[in-house]
Amino acid sequence: MNAPGEGTPRGTGVRSRIRSVFTDAGVTGWMHALDLGDGAEVAVAADTPVSTASVHKLCLAVTVQRFADEGRLDLDEQLESLPGDRTPGPTGLSMLSGPVRMSVRDLLAMALTVSDNAAADLLIDRVGLDAVNDAMRALGLRRTVAVQTMRDLIASIEEDSGGDPARLASDPAVLGRLRVLDPARANRSTPREMTRLLAALWRDEACSAGRARELRAVLGLQVWPHRLASGFPYDDVRVHGKTGTLPTVRNEAGVVEYPDGGRYAVAVFTRSARTAARQPAADAAIGTAARLAVRALRAP
């Protein structure tokens, strides 16, 4: 049964094919695709709680823009990132060695386009986790909850792995202890709530129209094409998205825009049985599942 206000589900056949894509890739998958025009949907276990990982930076981004709307924050405000206080990570400010001053607007761009953990935590420190959760509740997303900063997330992985994260790739027992993989103890949402958040952003309901437009533009600059965008390798189809990655977890939530005006919010969350750090089959399954769902939504 659909949640109130949701559209009509389409096609058990496509759901079966999407499940086969997940199985062939060696992952468990949960997804929701929503036609932003007529509200039709394709759902595969779409109300299951999932660990969002860096997809939760979408919630942070909306919160920052709402703060700016309310005059509680200036997007040109300068925040300082010092090496000793910086949240670790493989991209952006996280990998730099010197002090950096940057505007809130630019930190937001770093957090969304290259999933910069240090930039995201500077913003979380500025607005507070409670504010992120308040913003989601205000949008009716009561199953979308942040319980940790990015530095908390990384610290919990190190703690749960006994101080040796390299063991995650070789010891499934260590992997099983990771709190970040348990939606009950980590930043979490459901696929359906993530597409509702994206729908609100695309309909200028999550924040003011100008700030929503700015966020949509930044989400279109995300640097990684190997997940959601891999399902839409066409010059005239635009993909806006935010990835999320943890050991065995590959996620992405975004919006696919066609030149005929069709717009589709898609959220795909996966969990692999393999412990390998590189998961190209899981990455590709996100794009393939999204393409199947969008194709079904666009069918006459």
- Look at residue 194 and tell me if it is in a domain: yes
Q: By percentage, how much of the chain surpasses pLDDT 70?
A: 95
pLDDT of residue 163: 78
- Look at residue 4 and tell me if it is in a domain: no
Q: How far apart are CA 82 and CA 101, in angstroms?
A: 9
Of 266, 262, 200, 219, the closest CA to residue 237 belongs to 262
- Look at residue 1 and tell me if it is in a domain: no
The answer to whether residue 8 scores a pLDDT higher than 70 is no
Q: What average pLDDT does this structure show over 80-98?
A: 92
Count up the domains in the chain and report the number: 1
The per-residue pLDDT of the chain, averaged, comes to 93
pLDDT of residue 5: 40
**Digit-coded pLDDT (tens) for 113-136:** 999 999 999 999 999 999 999 999
- For residue 81, which phi and psi values (nearest 5 degrees)? -115, 115
The answer to whether residue 278 scores a pLDDT higher than 90 is no
- Look at residue 2 and tell me if it is in a domain: no
Q: Give Cα 175 to chain centroid, integer Å.
A: 22
Q: How far apart are CA 233 and CA 249, in angstroms?
A: 23
Of 299, 296, 300, the closest CA to residue 42 belongs to 296
The answer to whether residue 90 scores a pLDDT higher than 70 is yes
Q: How far apart are CA 61 and CA 221, in angstroms?
A: 14
Q: Give Cα 230 to chain centroid, integer Å.
A: 16
Look up the CATH number of the domain holding residue 217: 3.40.710.10
The answer to whether residue 294 scores a pLDDT higher than 50 is yes
Tokens found for residue 76: 């040109």
- Look at residue 3 and tell me if it is in a domain: no
pTM over 0.85: yes
Of 294, 271, 267, the closest CA to residue 194 belongs to 267
Structural domain for 179, as ranges: 9-298
Residues 6+ apart with CB under 8 A from 126: 64, 73, 79, 104
pLDDT of residue 270: 98
Q: What average pLDDT does this structure show over 93-118?
A: 96
The answer to whether residue 280 scores a pLDDT higher than 60 is yes
Contact (CB, 8 A) for 188 and 52: yes
pLDDT of residue 2: 42
Q: How far apart are CA 128 and CA 137, in angstroms?
A: 15
Of 17, 50, 24, the closest CA to residue 249 belongs to 50
pLDDT of residue 175: 82
pLDDT of residue 11: 62
- Look at residue 228 and tell me if it is in a domain: yes
Q: What average pLDDT does this structure show over 258-272?
A: 97
- Look at residue 288 and tell me if it is in a domain: yes
- Look at residue 32 and tell me if it is in a domain: yes
